Each structure stands twice: as structure tokens, then as C-alpha cells.
Amino acid sequence: MTVWEGKRFTVTVEDGYEIARTPDAVAIVALDGDGRFVLVRQRRPAADAELLELPAGLVDDGEAPLETAKRELREETGLQGGTWRELAGFWSSPGFVDEYVTVFAADALDEGEPDLDEGEELEVVRWTRAEVEARVGELRDATTLVGLLLFLRSR
Amino acid sequence: MTVWEGKRFTVTVEDGYEIARTPDAVAIVALDGDGRFVLVRQRRPAADAELLELPAGLVDDGEAPLETAKRELREETGLQGGTWRELAGFWSSPGFVDEYVTVFAADALDEGEPDLDEGEELEVVRWTRAEVEARVGELRDATTLVGLLLFLRSR
């Protein structure tokens, strides 16, 4: 039963379990043409903090997650083209949220112009692999940690 | 402004941002006296799946996260004592959830009797380090992935 309905998410109660229902999400471990990791820094009101994260976004109805990932990466950073593979899939907080996140890895990306949504403000930050290896533990977003840690193990 | 209030979480809208507000959480990378990793398998209605996860729980009002972690580990698995350290802290889904998760690592734990909450059903599963190394990519809970991946890097 739906007990609250917003624009970003909805709340249902099923068999006594309160569940926050949200579109599925994607995130991208993106490497530019120089092999640098491309991250985005943005203010997150829910965390009351500015977080450095993988480029990410929500899957539109009927959209394949890989298409979402390519669209969001291009909108947020301008990066496009490149070689893509699926890296991981997981629930972000399955105790009460139905959000499933698919993380892709993309490398050898070409530069382009970002195309941010109205009101979207973010700073693009690029880290070398050595910086990621040294500083991954400083990051504070679960999806970003999973994506980068799995990527580092994969090669 | 609070727009919906449940037992497990609450929804507020601030400056147009819809936020699911929940107690902070803890999880534990727990190693038994034989150096095996102790995981719990349980049904997660929000994911509509049975997930293998780190032992975890929610911080009670006024409780220190380390105390929550020791209490939850003992309740879910019976394990107690041992040597503890903080391993990581992160937001699970900062796009719309305020949940901050602290992960502890505990080793050389002593066996004891679990003490599950009424209605709580879980299966305790123990993996060797070699199994964790080989199978961590199969896991589907973000906090579990972050905790195990950071632990594997830390030694």
C-alpha cells in the first residue's frame, strides 16, 4: 500500500515493512583518455555535506541501465564514446530502500561539453590511479567506494 | 517539514528536497577465532531477495556506534569480546537518504549464543579469507561490499 508519494521517491508498507521505493540507479567508473578517473563533487542535502562521487543518475522508465549511464556521464562531464563494461550491481540500503545500483566501467572516453540539468551544480574532479589508490578511503559515498574498490581489484 | 512518519524511517521535505530520514547504521567485518569471516543471510523485503550481508544494525538514540556494533554482533551471531577498530564511514544513498553507516572490524572473537529479536530470522554463514577473496563480487549489499573490500585492502 502506498502511504506517501513524492517526486523523488514513494513510501509503501507491505506486511508491516516500510519501504522507500525509488528508480534504480547507475554509476560509472569513468577513465578519460589519459587514464585519469573522473569524479563529480556536489552538495547532497540528505547528507548535509558536499560529496565526491562517481558520475551517477537514475534510470528513466523503459531505459536500459547502460543507456542511462552513457547519458548521465555525457550530461555531467561531457565524456562520451569509449569502451564500456558492467562492473557490479547491488542494493544501496536493502533494510528499507528498494534502490538497485548498477555500476559500469568505461575507459578511453572522448572529451565533450557537459549538459547539466537546470539547477544541477557539480564540479568535475580527475584523479590519477595513484591518487585513487591512496585516497579511496577518504570517500564517503557507498556506491563510489564499491565501484572504485572493485575496479582496483579487477586490474 | 515532516511529510510522513513511520516506525523505520521518516520523510521530510526541505527546500524542495525529499529526504528519507533514518537512524544511523553500523556493520561489522567480524572474524571468528579461526579467522573466518562471519556473515548473515536474511530476507530483505525492500530488495525482494535473500541477501548475504555483514552483521549490522541501527544505532539507538544516545548509543555510541561501537556499542551498537558490539550489541548487534552478539545478538545476531553470539560473537563477543575480540579486538575492535573502526574501518570506514559513508552514506549509503546520499541522493535522498540520510543514513550514515560506520563499519567496524573485529577479530579474535569468542563464541556465544545469539539472541535474536522476536521475528528476526537469519542464517549465520562463515567464509574463509580465500572464499571472501574469490566471492566478494557475488555479494549484493553495498555496505557489505565496502566493508569487505576495504578490509581486504587493509591487510
Catalytic residue among A118, A120, A131, A133: A118
What is the predicted pLDDT for the residue at B12? 98
Which 8-state DSSP code applies to residue A136?
G
What is the predicted pLDDT for the residue at A74? 97
Which 8-state DSSP code applies to residue A36?
-
- How confident is the model over A57-76, as pLDDT tens digits? 999 999 999 999 999 999 99
Interatomic CA distance for residues B62 and B59, integer angstroms: 8
Please tell me if residue A9 touches chain B, with a CB cutoff of 8 Å.
yes
- Which phi-psi region, left, alpha or beta, contains residue B152 (left: φ > 0; alpha: ψ -120 to 50)? alpha
Higher pLDDT, A118 or A52: A52
What is the predicted pLDDT for the residue at A155? 74
Statement: residue B97 has pLDDT above 90:
yes
- The C-alpha cell that represents A96 in the structure block: 528499507
Residue pair B27/B119 in contact (Cβ under 8 Å)? The answer is: no
**pTM flag (> 0.95):** yes
What is the predicted pLDDT for the residue at B121? 86
What is the predicted pLDDT for the residue at B125? 98
Give the B window 64-93 contacts with A, CB below 8 Å.
88-93
* Lowest-pLDDT choice from A58-62, A118-122, B95-99, B108-112: A118-122
- How confident is the model over B24-80, as pLDDT tens digits? 999 999 999 999 999 999 999 999 999 999 999 999 999 999 999 999 999 999 999
Going by pLDDT thresholds of 50, 70 and 90, the confidence category of residue A82 is very high
Nearest to B26 by CA among B85, B66, B74, B83: B66
Q: How far is CA B43 from the centre of its chain?
A: 14
CA distances to A6, B2, B37, B47 from A2, rounded to whole Å, are 11, 17, 39, 17
Catalytic residue among B113, B118, B121, B138: B118
Statement: residue A35 has pLDDT above 90:
yes
Partners of residue A139 in chain B, C-beta under 8 Å: 90
Give the A window 83-142 contacts with B, CB below 8 Å.
88-101, 137, 139-142
CB nearest to A150's CB, from B51, B101, B149? B149
CB nearest to B90's CB, from A15, A95, A145? A145
- How confident is the model over A103-155, as pLDDT tens digits? 999 999 999 999 988 877 899 999 999 999 999 999 999 999 999 999 999 97
Interatomic CA distance for residues A142 and B103, integer angstroms: 11
Nearest to A14 by CA among B46, B68, B126: B46
What is the predicted pLDDT for the residue at A131? 98
User: What average pLDDT does range B85-112 have in this prediction?
Assistant: 97
Residue pair A26/A56 in contact (Cβ under 8 Å)? The answer is: yes
Handedness of CA B5, B122, B44, B23 (dihedral sign): positive
- The C-alpha cell that represents B106 in the structure block: 573485529
Owner of C-alpha cell 578519460: A32
Residue pair A77/A49 in contact (Cβ under 8 Å)? The answer is: no
